[in-house]
Amino acid sequence: MNTLRVLIPKGRMFENIARLFADAGFPIMLADRTYRPVIAAPWFAAKIMKAQNVGQLLELGSHDAGFTGWDWVQESGAAVEKIIDLGFDRVRIVAAIPITQDEAELRDKTITVATEYVNIAKEWLSQAGYNYRILRTYGATEVFPPDDADMIIDNTASGQTLRDNGLKIVATLLESSTHFVASSAALSDPEKRRHIEELSMLFRAVLDGREKVMLEMNVSEGQFPSLVAGLPSMRSPTVSPLYDGAGFALKIAVKASEVPDLIPRLKKLGATDIVEYDLRKVVP
């Protein structure tokens, strides 16, 4: 059997990815202090690694596919193929300076920039016309200014940590989220490519299912046309006649965000016995 060797990041990304695998039908079992989880499929071999290393390891060919933030793909310059943007752990890579600092004054001197994103920082700083030297950090980048750095380039989800440390954002360099990526070599192998594409399809189905719910309702024959005309739906609703010709039962999949406005509208259009329930997967 042609084993698909998958890298899963440790830390905060792991929980979302483990849940995604479980919802797709492949529960992950990981014992304490181990780095090789067991996934419920005989063609998987998984390993836990830092997200920063995933892209380069795929490019080197020691693994076939993996999960990492797109910021780390950009930072490493790794030649990997984007399969699907999972949308987890969304962050911005930003440049930030002390809130009391005038950005224009920084352009008149050589500034110290603290960052984990050395390559991304160098490219942006050069294009922006700064004179700079890079101070490579290993976490807690926001604590460096003002004593040890004039500027930081770091990731942020809401910007609150930066504000709490007296910093203001002066530029957004890129936006990032967790991606499912693969090596070109793996995609050139027919069996591995099939596994990767099937995983991608299941992941998309799970993600679509999380955004939608199913609504079921009954409606009288006389109110049926106006109700159907007012329905949002992925496709035409599923319609079944009720016993003794008392009307129809309808079933539609809708975005969960639409439900608070939709249910009162459906009631006005004559819907009764409305039932809402979650979807596990939606496969177009």
Highest CATH level, class, for 4-88+177-188: alpha beta
Kindly state the average pLDDT of the residues 14-41. Answer: 88
Q: How many residues does the chain have?
A: 284
HSE at residue 95, side-chain half, CA atoms within 13 A, is 22
In contact, 153 and 74? CB cutoff 8 Å: no
DSSP 3-state of 138: coil
240, 220 in Cβ contact below 8 A?
no
Mean pLDDT for 81-97 is 96
Tokens 């939608």 appear where? 212
Residue 283 has a CB neighbour count (10 Å cut-off) of 10
At residue 233, the pLDDT reads 62
Q: What angle do CA 226, 231, 236 make, to 5 degrees?
A: 105
Domain with CATH 3.40.190.10 in the chain: 4-88+177-188, 91-175
Percent of the chain with pLDDT over 70: 99
Q: Are 162 and 170 in contact (CB under 8 A)?
A: no
Mean pLDDT, the chain, as a whole number?
92
pLDDT at 8: 95
Q: What stretch(es) of the chain map to CATH 3.30.70.120?
A: 212-278
Domain covering 91-175, topology: D-Maltodextrin-Binding Protein; domain 2 (3.40.190)
**How far is CA 142 from each of CA 42, 76, 173, rounded to the nearest angstrom?**
44, 22, 16
Strands annotated E in 157-219: 167-176, 178-182, 212-219
Determine the pLDDT at residue 181.
Answer: 97
Q: Cα–Cα distance between 240 and 237 in angstroms, integer? A: 10
Task: Write the pLDDT tens digit of every residue in 172-184.
Answer: 999 999 999 999 9
- The distance of Cα 151 from the centroid of its chain, to the nearest Å, equals 28
Q: Which residue has the higher pLDDT, 62 or 244?
A: 62
Over residues 203-226, the pLDDT tens digits come to 999 999 999 999 999 999 999 988
Pick the closest to residue 117 from 181, 61, 51 (CA basis). 51
Higher-confidence residue of 36 and 153: namely 153
**pLDDT beyond 70 at 1:** no
Q: What percent of the chain has pLDDT over 90?
A: 77
Instruction: Quote the pLDDT of residue 29.
Output: 86
Reported pTM: 0.85
What is the token pair recorded at 114?
């603290």
Out of 1.10.3080.10, 3.40.50.1400, 3.30.70.120, 3.40.50.2000, select the CATH number for domain 212-278.
Answer: 3.30.70.120
What average pLDDT does this structure show over 196-204? Answer: 95
**C-alpha torsion sign, points 134, 140, 142, 143:** negative
State pLDDT tens for residues 151-170. Answer: 999 999 999 999 999 999 99
CB of 95 closer than 8 Å to CB of 151: yes
Note the pLDDT of residue 234.
Answer: 54
